[in-house]
Structure 1
Amino acid sequence: MNNQGLKKLAELALKDIENRYPNFPKHAIPQPKYIDNTSNGLTRCVIDWIELNGFQAERINSMGRQIDKRKTVTDVLGNKRTVGSVTWTKGSSQKGTADISATIKGRSVKIEIKCEATGDHYQSEDQKRYQKSIERAGGIYIIVRTFEDFYVWLNKFID
C-alpha cells in the first residue's frame, strides 16, 4: 500500500475484526488487504471506509439480470453439446445511477466510481443527467477516481 488512506483503511478494518472477535488470538488475524487500482477494489475501499466510520453505504447494481437458456444435451453419437443462449434483462434502476449510494451525517451521497488506473475517465450523458437530478434535489454527488481523493474528501466533509 502506497498511500495514507489505504493504510488507515487496513488499520481500521483490522481493529474492527479484533473488536468483533475478541477471543481470537491477535497474532492469527490476517492483515486486511485493500487495492484501489480496479473499479471493484476501489468500490470496496469506499464502502468499507464509510461503514467502518459508522455511516451507511451500499453498492448499486444497475446491470440487469442474466438469463441462461443454455442446456447440455447428448446427441445420438454420445457427444455432449451445449445449445441455447444467454440473454440479459434490462435493469430496473434509473439510467446513469451512481455506483454507491450512501448516507453520511444524515446527507444523501451518491458516489460514481471512475477508476483512474483502469482508464475509466468519463461520465456518460445518462450519468451527467443523474448527477444534475441528485444535486437539484439537495443531494451530494461525487466522482471518485482514487481512494486517496475520496479519503481526503470524506475527512473534510465530516469535520
Structure 2
Amino acid sequence: MSTTDTQSLDFDDLEQGKITKISYSEADSIKVLEKLALQKLKEYNPDNHYSPELRYSDKTSNEAAKCIIDYILFNDSQAERVNYRSFIKNNRKTPTYTLGAIAICSNEWIYRIRKREAVYIHSVINRKFVRIEVKIEATGDNNHPKGQTTYQSKIKVAESYYLTVSNFTDFYNWLNDFYLEQSKNS
C-alpha cells in the first residue's frame, strides 16, 4: 500500500513478471478419476475413436460433489445428490380494482425435506449407507450448524457412515481406507 492516506495500491513496489495468482495444481486423485471416466466412456461406446478430454475439478462445492458422485457411480455403487428445495410455489394474486386487474407476483420455495440439516450426497457403498457433506473452505461453506451435529450422531447410531469432506482427495483417501477395512472384515 502507499504511504499516503489514500486506499490506492502503490504499483511501484510490485515486481514485474512476478506471478501473483496461485495456480491450481490438479491432485493425483482427480487424475485417477479422469482416467476412470475415460475408461468407462470407452466401455460404453467402443466404436467412438475420438475420445473427449474429460475435466474434473474440486474448486467449488458443486464441482467436488460431481467428482464424488461420478467416482462412486464408476465404482459400481449408488450415489445421488440431495436437493433441499422441491419446487417453487407461485403466489400470484390478481385482485380486480376499479382501474383494472393488477397481477401481484411472489414466489416461495416449498421444501421437500423438513430437516434443513440434511447432507449433500446420499450413497450406498458395499451395502453401507454413507452420507457425505461437501464443505469447501475456500468458498466459505465450512459453517457447521448445531442441527447438523445432532443429525450426524443419529446417522452414526444407525451404524451408517457420515463424512464431511473439504475436497475430492479427502473422499478418495477415505474410500480407499473404507475398502481396505471392508476387505479385512470379510
Could you tell me the TM-score, scaled by structure 1's length?
A: 0.85
Instruction: Find the aligned partners of 1:104 and 1:7 in 2 and give their Cα distance.
Output: 22
Which amino acid in 1 is paired with 2:77? F
Q: Secondary structure at the match of 1:23?
A: coil
- Residue in 2 that maps onto 1:134: 155
Do structure 1's residue 10 and structure 2's residue 14 form an aligned pair? no
Q: Secondary structure at the match of 1:149?
A: helix
- CA contact under 8 A between 1:116 and 1:146: conserved in structure 2? no
Which amino acid in 2 is paired with 1:48? D
Q: Which has the higher contact order (CA 8 A, sep 6+)?
A: 1
- CA contact under 8 A between 2:65 and 2:134: conserved in structure 1? yes
- Residue in 1 that maps onto 2:85: 63
Which amino acid in 2 is paired with 1:10? E
After superposition, the CA RMSD in angstroms is 1.9
Which amino acid in 1 is paired with 2:84? S
Bigger radius of gyration among the two: 2
Q: Secondary structure at the match of 1:65?
A: strand
List aligned pairs for 1:1-159, cutoff 5 A. 2-25=26-49, 28-69=50-91, 83-159=104-180
Change (3 A) 1:93 1:102: farther
- CA contact under 8 A between 2:68 and 2:168: conserved in structure 1? yes
- Percent identity of paired positions between Structure 1 and Structure 2: 35
Q: Secondary structure at the match of 2:85?
A: coil
In the alignment, structure 2 segments of 5+ residues that lack a partner are 1-24, 94-101, 181-186
CA positional deviation for 1:66: 1.6
CA positional deviation for 1:130: 0.8
Change (3 A) 1:120 1:158: same
- Residue in 2 that maps onto 1:78: none
User: Structure 1 segments of 4 or more deviating over 2 A?
Assistant: 67-71, 90-95
- Residue in 2 that maps onto 1:74: none
Instruction: Find the aligned partners of 1:97 and 1:87 in 2 and give their Cα distance.
Output: 20
Q: Secondary structure at the match of 2:71?
A: helix
CA positional deviation for 1:54: 1.2
**Which whole-Å deviations, capped at 9, do the CAs of 1:8-55 have from their partners, x for residues lacking one?**
001100111110001111xx2211111111111011000011111111
Count of aligned residue pairs for this structure pair: 148
